[in-house]
């Protein structure tokens, strides 16, 4: 059945939006664990084992710090920022690759004065993310580079 498939050609448009792709800002308030993140599902095909999504974090924003069994395969598509994977912090630039293995804590931060946009390939069937408990958070913060990373917004 082809009826659920994407059209063969979909154009890239202004401000990193694509023709025929819904743009989903994540609703946030003071309690949400992310800031200034939008999501666009670029490919979700009935006969493929994975999806390809595009996430964008505005300058100063960050994705949720989380972990899960499923892996992420990430390519930075726009701008630059920083990423933390399993306690390791790195500056990331356009076209860099980030591999997030099962159960690795991870977060992306647009902490370098630019938006940070990235492609994320993920299994179509996947488990729900876990947020860190207070104890796990303390353990992550015990690594000085991670503690500093978690405070950085790139502002001021």
Active site residues: 120
Using CB under 8 A as the binding rule, whether residue 8 contacts a second copy is answered as yes
Q: Which of 108, 106, 81, 107 is nearest to 94 (CA)?
A: 81
Position among 37, 57, 65, 85 found at the interface with a second copy (CB under 8 A): 85
Position among 26, 33, 39, 75 found at the interface with a second copy (CB under 8 A): 75
β-strand pairing of 50-62 with 116-123: antiparallel
Using CB under 8 A as the binding rule, whether residue 59 contacts a second copy is answered as no
Rounded CA-CA distance 118/72 in Å is: 11
| 72 close to 106: Cβ distance less than 8 angstroms | yes
| 41 close to 18: Cβ distance less than 8 angstroms | no
Using CB under 8 A as the binding rule, whether residue 86 contacts a second copy is answered as yes
CB atoms within 10 A of CB 78: 19
Quick one: 4 or 31, whose CB is closer to a second copy?
4
- Least distance between a second copy and beta carbon 28 (Å): 27
Residues 89-118 binding a second copy (CB under 8 A) are 90, 92-102, 104
Position among 35, 39, 50, 139 found at the interface with a second copy (CB under 8 A): 50
Give the burial class of 139: count Cβ atoms within 10 A of its Cβ; 0-12 exposed, 13-18 middle, 19 or more buried. middle
Binding site for a second copy (CB under 8 A): 2, 5-12, 16, 18, 21, 42-43, 45, 47-50, 52, 70-71, 73, 75-77, 83, 85-86, 88, 90, 92-102, 104, 119, 121-124
């Amino acid at each position: 059945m082809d009826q659920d498939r994407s059209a063969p050609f979909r154009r890239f448009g202004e401000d990193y939006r694509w023709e025929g792709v819904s743009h989903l800002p994540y609703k946030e308030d003071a309690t949400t664990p992310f800031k200034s993140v939008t999501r666009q599902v670029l490919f979700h095909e009935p006969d493929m084992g994975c999806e390809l999504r595009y996430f964008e974090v505005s300058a100063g924003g960050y994705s949720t710090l989380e972990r899960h069994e499923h892996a992420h395969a990430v390519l930075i598509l726009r701008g630059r920022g920083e990423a933390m994977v399993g306690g390791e912090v790195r500056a990331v630039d356009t076209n860099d690759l980030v591999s997030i293995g099962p159960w690795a804590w991870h977060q992306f931060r647009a902490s370098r004065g630019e938006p940070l946009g990235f492609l994320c390939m993920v299994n179509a069937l996947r488990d729900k993310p876990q947020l860190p408990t207070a104890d796990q958070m303390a353990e992550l913060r015990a690594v000085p580079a991670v503690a500093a990373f978690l405070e950085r917004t790139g502002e001021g």
